[in-house]
A = this chain, B = another copy of it.
Amino acid sequence: MEIPDPRVAMWSPACQAVALLLGPYAEVVLHDAGRDRVLAIWNPMTRREPGDPSLLGELDQLQPSAHDVFGPYEKLLADGRRLSSVSAVLRDADGQPSAVLCINLDRTPLDQAAALLAGFAAPSVPRPEPLFEQDWTERVHQVIGSYVRTRGRPVERLGREDRLAVLAELDQAGIFAVRRAVPVVAGALRASRSTVYALLAELKAPRNQP
């Protein structure tokens, strides 16, 4: 090791906190902008080490998204991993640029999961002419169940907004064009008929609430 740099001493807790929070998927790099050298690095994703060249040249061309902050922008690693990166110019007490912080988040796992989920939802059956939806009661329960599952909260604990969302979905699905639908929905939502009508009215009149 070399003589500890005071900038590293100053910034490393923050860097380390980020590195810890984002587990193995984020690399945090502290650069000496003046000498274009890496000062310190946490969770390195490439083999860079303190003292290596920073190659920060491109930063100059970027539009800052706020004062001294750049990104998030996309980077591509040699092995194909896609990174979301942000950079921040760190200044000392005098306001002089003293270091540059870069956080590189590997979005490959997220992208993969997203692709899986998207691919799951998208290629739906091209509608083989299924006449009318026969068992709409079942559908009501499916919609509600699905909402409850993604929300991770049982029907009894759904809040006002939740029920509004569910009703919007059901309405979208045309459920309320069906005879006797409201009482069934009310029952499934564990709400009274009155409440369902009130919420439906609110959906149809999206002005505001006093």
Interface residues of A (CB under 8 A from B): 6, 9-14, 16-18, 20-21, 65-72, 80, 84-93, 95, 101, 103, 105, 108, 111-113, 115-117, 121, 124-134, 136, 139, 142, 146, 149-150, 152-153, 172-175, 177-179
Known contacts A132-B174, A177-B179; can you find 4 more A-B pairs with CB under 8 A? A10-B90, A16-B66, A17-B69, A132-B139
Is A130 in contact with B125, judged by CB distance below 8 angstroms? yes
Residues of B within 8 A of A90 (CB): 10, 13-14
Is A130 in contact with B132, judged by CB distance below 8 angstroms? no
A132 is contacted by which of B21, B136, B153 (Cβ under 8 Å)?
Answer: B136
Query: How many Å from the CB of A170 to the closest CB on chain B?
Result: 9
Residues of B within 8 A of A20 (CB): 65-66, 69, 71-72, 86
Is A101 in contact with B17, judged by CB distance below 8 angstroms? yes
A179 is contacted by which of B84, B92, B179 (Cβ under 8 Å)?
Answer: B179
Is B124 in contact with A130, judged by CB distance below 8 angstroms? yes
Query: How many Å from the CB of A82 to the closest CB on chain B?
Result: 10
Query: How many Å from the CB of A39 to the closest CB on chain B?
Result: 14
Alpha-carbon distance A11/B18, docked complex (angstroms): 14
- Identify the closest chain B residue to A6 (Cβ): B93
Alpha-carbon distance A127/B20, docked complex (angstroms): 38
Is B125 in contact with A128, judged by CB distance below 8 angstroms? yes
Is A178 in contact with B175, judged by CB distance below 8 angstroms? no
A175 is contacted by which of B65, B80, B132 (Cβ under 8 Å)?
Answer: B132
